């Protein structure tokens, strides 16, 4: 019988810091009552069989002597996931894929496995049975003869099947359900998640096989497990969306192989997730009549220009204290813009309720939508509709001046493509714009008052 060394240790459930004894406050993240005890049993090293026998003889090299090999990326089906990953899936990469329960993480990964032709894919599920996955695959309606399904939670058994199958892409659903024999603690604990991820990372790097890890998130929206989990992986993807809307947004919170500013948009249907090729069409509502309190902003998500609709409602405060509420827009920035209108432009909004919403259920942090936000607020306050053929792309400063924004040419061309007649931009963007013959009228303004006079007279 193998001898084991039993060790009791304490971990912080918030940040993953380790302590020799229980303490009330974590000295790493300053959170109270987050320290939990875990029993770790480490078997003798001779009893642990190697899951894959690959020997890498590494030696120090001069930086100038290292040659960069052009490693081709695996082109995934569709364009949205490829865009967010930076142009495709890098061999040997470890991708962490998180999102709310029921948002569509497993559906997207299974859909990718069924559509990835020419590559052997192993989908490992610790949450569902083979029959449940089969039912979902039939609903999606795609067939792939190289897609294998495995329902297992032990990493030792998983690596045994991997050695026999030798897949090109590995998908783990989810990392919180896996257990390893080197740690004697419950699945989902900090030590189990860390050790299982370390084993999968070693496998990915030594065999040059890309691995997807589906991860749960906490009630605060962070990925469950130790914070070191996000440091270990190469890419962290976040799948966002409102259950009341059919649209899902895919963002990269970390990407060692590309930009973190890219955005992928999907539409949830009964047959799976459908890519949205032109998101500007779905983010702008088609109204039969022109109403006040609505303005169109030209924003950027990575290299993709988007036109979004800003909706505002300004009314007299019914309960004495004015309310400020925003959906999809930073509330602190909304308060700042209201202060600019009050102080610099003379609009009396201190005793009025202001509600702001970005149509489509998306969240935008681009400062270039400031002018559209102000225009929507003033339109609702004066009850005068903004012309439906006008859009805006400018940042608003604290003195009421309009500041230039980046990639103005792409914003203008997107507005022109969607049939807008004029776009309001900062006069300081005039020098950086290319000399192109636009059919859309580009109006250069310097202050908020000029925009108000041009729109409402």
Q: Note the pLDDT tens digit of each residue in 280-290.
A: 877 787 665 67
The DSSP symbol for 189 reads: S
**Does 104 carry a binding-site annotation?**
yes
| Between 21 and 307, residue with greater pLDDT | 307
Q: Please give the pLDDT value at position 194.
A: 87
**Does 440 carry a binding-site annotation?**
no
Kindly list the domain boundaries of the chain, sorted by start residue.
Answer: 4-47, 73-277, 281-456
What is the DSSP track for 358-425? ETTS-----GGGHHHHHHHHHHHHHT-PPPTTEEEE-EE-TTSBEEP-S-HHHHHHHHHHTT-SEEEE
Most confident among 357-361, 362-366, 423-427 (mean pLDDT): 423-427
What mean pLDDT do residues 433-450 have? 84
For residue 170, give the 3-state DSSP assignment: strand
pLDDT tier, 57 (very low <50, low <70, confident <90, very high otherwise): low
**Does 225 carry a binding-site annotation?**
no
Is the confidence at residue 47, as pLDDT, over 60?
A: no
Alpha-carbon span 81 to 75, nearest angstrom: 9
Q: Please give the pLDDT value at position 435.
A: 67
Is the confidence at residue 250, as pLDDT, over 80?
A: yes
**Does 408 carry a binding-site annotation?**
no
Residue 31 sits at φ, ψ, to 5 deg, of -100, 145
What is the pTM assigned to this prediction? 0.76
Alpha-carbon span 170 to 29, nearest angstrom: 33
For residue 10, give the 3-state DSSP assignment: strand
**Does 102 carry a binding-site annotation?**
yes
pLDDT tier, 45 (very low <50, low <70, confident <90, very high otherwise): very low
Q: Is 390 left (phi over 0), alpha (psi -120 to 50) or beta?
A: beta
Q: Please give the pLDDT value at position 370.
A: 95
Q: Please give the pLDDT value at position 71.
A: 72
**Does 106 carry a binding-site annotation?**
yes
Q: Please give the pLDDT value at position 296.
A: 93
59-104 tens-digit pLDDT = 888 888 887 766 788 899 888 899 899 888 999 999 999 988 888 8
Q: Which CATH number is correct for 281-456, 3.30.160.70, 3.30.465.10, 3.30.230.10, 1.10.1040.10? A: 3.30.230.10
Q: Under CATH, domain 73-277 is a member of which superfamily?
A: P-loop containing nucleotide triphosphate hydrolases (3.40.50.300)
**Does 100 carry a binding-site annotation?**
yes
**Does 399 carry a binding-site annotation?**
no
In angstroms, the Cα distances linking 86 to 74, 75, 108, 154, 252 are: 11, 11, 18, 32, 10
pLDDT tier, 359 (very low <50, low <70, confident <90, very high otherwise): confident
């Amino acid at each position: 019988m193998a001898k084991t060394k039993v060790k009791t240790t304490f971990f912080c459930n918030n940040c993953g810091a380790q302590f020799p004894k229980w303490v009330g406050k974590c000295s790493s993240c300053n959170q109270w009552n987050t320290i939990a005890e875990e029993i770790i049993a480490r078997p003798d090293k001779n009893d642990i069989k190697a899951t894959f026998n690959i020997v890498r003889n590494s030696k120090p090299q001069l930086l100038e002597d290292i040659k960069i090999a052009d490693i081709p990326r695996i082109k995934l089906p569709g364009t949205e996931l490829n865009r967010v990953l930076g142009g495709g899936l890098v061999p040997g990469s470890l991708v962490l894929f998180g999102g709310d329960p029921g948002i569509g993480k497993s559906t997207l990964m299974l859909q990718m496995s069924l559509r990835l032709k020419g590559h052997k894919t192993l989908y490992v599920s610790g949450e569902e049975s083979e029959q449940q996955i089969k039912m979902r695959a039939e609903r999606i309606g795609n067939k792939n003869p190289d897609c294998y399904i495995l329902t297992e939670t032990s990493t030792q058994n998983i690596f045994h099947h991997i050695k026999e199958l030798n897949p090109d892409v590995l998908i783990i659903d989810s990392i919180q359900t896996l257990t390893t024999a080197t740690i004697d603690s419950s699945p989902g604990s900090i030590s189990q998640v860390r050790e299982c991820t370390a084993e999968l990372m070693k496998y990915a790097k030594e065999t040059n096989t890309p691995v997807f890890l589906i991860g749960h998130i906490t009630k605060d929206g962070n990925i469950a497990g130790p914070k070191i989990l996000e440091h270990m992986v190469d890419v962290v993807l976040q799948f966002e969306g409102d259950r009341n809307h059919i649209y899902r947004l895919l963002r990269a919170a970390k990407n060692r192989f590309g930009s973190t500013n890219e955005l992928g948009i999907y539409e949830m249907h009964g047959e799976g997730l459908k890519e949205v090729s032109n998101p500007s069409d779905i983010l702008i509502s088609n109204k039969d009549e022109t109403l006040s309190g609505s303005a169109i902003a030209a924003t950027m998500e990575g290299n993709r220009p988007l036109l979004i609709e800003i909706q505002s409602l300004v009314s007299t405060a019914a309960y004495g204290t004015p309310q400020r509420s925003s959906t999809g827009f930073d509330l602190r920035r909304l308060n700042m813009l209201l202060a600019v209108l009050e102080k610099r432009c003379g609009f009396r909004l201190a005793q009025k309720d202001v509600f702001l919403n970005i149509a489509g259920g998306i969240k935008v942090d681009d400062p270039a939508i400031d002018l559209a936000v102000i225009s929507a607020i003033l339109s609702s306050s004066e009850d005068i509709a903004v012309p439906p053929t006008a859009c805006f792309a400018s940042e608003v400063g604290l003195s009421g001046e309009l500041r230039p924004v980046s990639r103005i040419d792409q914003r203008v061309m997107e507005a022109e493509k969607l049939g807008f007649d004029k776009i309001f931009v900062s006069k300081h963007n005039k020098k950086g714009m290319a000399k192109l013959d636009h059919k859309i009228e580009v109006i250069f303004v310097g202050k908020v008052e000029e925009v108000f006079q041009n729109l409402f007279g």
